[in-house]
């Protein structure tokens, strides 16, 4: 049973939020200016839970307003839900229309029906690290795109222009990576976790940064929860006598991509993970399935390392 006395549904847009209060039946339309959001948070009754969707970053100003010390002290909290989960809940309750007011009302009902758990207050150091890691990913994607264009370009002027832009992007990416490492060193907790993660095979500075930024639950959940959050859990698709193919889906794409590369490297250099991957392939598992399973095992190991505060140690001698 929820401990929150009142649950509000909030649909977040770029320039405004729509708020539904089921207790009073009131709908409000509020601009996303910082002053307006602070006033909204300050007016909330003690023990209020705000249910909102992840909206590509537009929800962050509202989250910051709700995380202010004076607001948290009154028991005000928020729960951020996956947009796909919210839409499926709406369809399950017969809501096929989609408007801002309908979404706000649906989120309030979803919070009450599913007894959603409030999100933990974000660590400012991890929040900044997440922003830096996301920007590095943007630059990496731009470098890949420009490199592909360079491979197809034939005009000399165009090739020179692409090379010039690539040089700028690579300098920016290097500068960002330097700042990421400096940021981790400046914060004792991040520094200690980073050094511990990097004792595991295949986990270098980039992979460790992604795990720290995108998976703060690491070490605080069980292996099944970690696999689901990392997008590495195989989900069944069975019905009656039909046994469907189990596939991974959902979870955090950044974590899955990073651990896939880490598992590929680790399964070549670490005796335990190399033997695990070999057993799978000897049983006829396709290459990618074996690597995904290895990534899931590696994540389980990393989760245990953080929970038990120990460095990596292979159980099979080299």
C-alpha–C-alpha distance, residues 204 and 276, integer Å:
21
Please state the domain extents for the chain: 6-114, 124-186, 205-235+250-308
C-alpha–C-alpha distance, residues 258 and 202, integer Å:
10
- The tally of CA atoms less than 13 A away on the side-chain side of residue 58 is 14
Give the mean pLDDT of the chain. 91
Residues 44-74 pLDDT 10s: 999 899 999 988 888 999 999 998 888 888 8
Q: Domain 6-114, what architecture? A: 2-Layer Sandwich (3.30)
So what's the pLDDT on residue 2?
Answer: 45
**Residue 243 pLDDT more than 70?**
yes
Q: Are 294 and 267 in contact (CB under 8 A)?
A: yes
So what's the pLDDT on residue 38?
Answer: 93
Residues 84-135 pLDDT 10s: 889 999 899 888 888 889 999 999 999 989 888 888 877 889 999 999 999 9
So what's the pLDDT on residue 70?
Answer: 85
Whole-prediction pTM = 0.84
C-alpha–C-alpha distance, residues 139 and 176, integer Å:
9
């Amino acid at each position: 049973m929820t401990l929150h006395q009142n649950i509000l549904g909030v649909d977040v847009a770029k320039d405004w939020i729509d708020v539904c209060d089921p207790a009073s039946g009131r709908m409000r339309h509020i601009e996303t200016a910082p002053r307006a959001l602070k006033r909204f948070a300050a007016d909330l009754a003690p023990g209020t839970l705000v249910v909102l969707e992840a909206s590509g970053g537009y929800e962050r100003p509202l989250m910051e307003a709700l995380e202010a010390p004076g607001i948290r002290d009154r028991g005000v909290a928020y729960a951020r839900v996956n947009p796909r989960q919210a839409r499926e809940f709406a369809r399950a309750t017969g809501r096929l229309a989609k408007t801002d007011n309908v979404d706000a009302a649906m989120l309030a009902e979803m919070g009450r029906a599913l007894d959603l758990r409030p999100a933990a207050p974000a660590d400012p150091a991890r929040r900044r690290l997440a922003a830096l890691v996301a920007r590095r990913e943007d630059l990496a994607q731009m470098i890949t795109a420009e490199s592909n264009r360079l491979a197809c370009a034939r005009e000399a002027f165009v090739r020179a222009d692409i090379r010039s832009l690539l040089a700028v992007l690579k300098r920016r990416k290097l500068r960002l990576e330097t700042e990421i490492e400096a940021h981790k060193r400046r914060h004792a907790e991040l520094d200690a976790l980073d050094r511990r993660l990097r004792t595991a095979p295949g986990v270098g500075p980039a992979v460790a940064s992604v795990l720290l930024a995108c998976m703060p639950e690491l070490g605080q959940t069980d292996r099944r929860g970690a696999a689901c959050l990392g997008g590495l859990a195989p989900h069944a698709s069975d019905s009656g006598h039909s046994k469907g193919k189990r596939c991974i889906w959902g979870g955090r794409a950044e974590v899955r991509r990073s651990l896939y590369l880490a598992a590929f490297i680790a399964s070549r250099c670490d005796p335990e993970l190399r033997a695990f991957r070999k057993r799978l392939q000897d049983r006829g598992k396709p290459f990618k399935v074996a690597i995904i399973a290895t990534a899931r095992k590696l994540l389980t190991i990393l989760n245990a390392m953080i929970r038990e505060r120990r460095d990596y140690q292979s159980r099979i001698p080299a």
